[in-house]
Amino acid sequence: MDPNRLTAIPIFSNLSEEEARRLAAFATETSAAEGQILMKEGDYSTELIAIEEGTADVLRAGEKIASLKQGDLIGEMGLLEREPRNADVIATSPMRLLKQTHWEIRRMSQETVERIKQIVTERRQAGVADPAHQ
């Protein structure tokens, strides 16, 4: 994968050229159709997903609790905290996604991991709390 695509996503924008190349080498590119379930409540988190294009809704007990868009992350809370997901994430448009498994997260610099943890903290403070416990 082209490292420039990875660094175009805000959370990865400050990666060094070396770290971007290293992480891009292990990133998986995938797509999702509108209506596709990206994450299911109760599942365990094994990957971090960055939305490169498209939108998704987060649903808990069938009720929409958040919307996600280009540049947002899915899966960071469950991955970092090793908890099951507590909501579904469903594509609301065709999507292009970049995935990193928990093994690749271990290859990230401490600075990048701290930025991801900050997103989790901000979501908790906003009451969104990474609604899918992604």
Neighbours of 88 (CB within 10 A): 21
**Which residue type does 45 have?**
S
**Closest residue by Cα to residue 76 from 58, 49, 112:** 49
pLDDT of 60 strictly over 90 = no
Domains parsed from the chain with CATH numbers: 29-117 (2.60.120.10)
pLDDT digits (tens, 9 = 90+) for 14-31: 888 888 888 888 888 999
Per-residue pLDDT, averaged over 108-123, amounts to: 69
pLDDT for the residue 43: 85
Question: What's residue 80's pLDDT?
Answer: 63
Would the pTM count as exceeding 0.75? yes
Q: What is the mean pLDDT of residues 38-65?
A: 89
Find the helix or strand (DSSP H, E) in which 100 lies: strand 95-101
Q: What is the pLDDT of residues 70-89, one digit of tens each?
A: 999 887 666 666 677 778 99
Beta bridge partners of 57: 67, 90
Query: CA dist 72 to 18, 45, 61, Å?
Result: 23, 16, 22
- pLDDT band per the 50, 70, 90 thresholds, residue 134: very low
pLDDT digits (tens, 9 = 90+) for 96-113: 999 887 666 666 667 767
The whole-chain average pLDDT of the chain stands at: 81
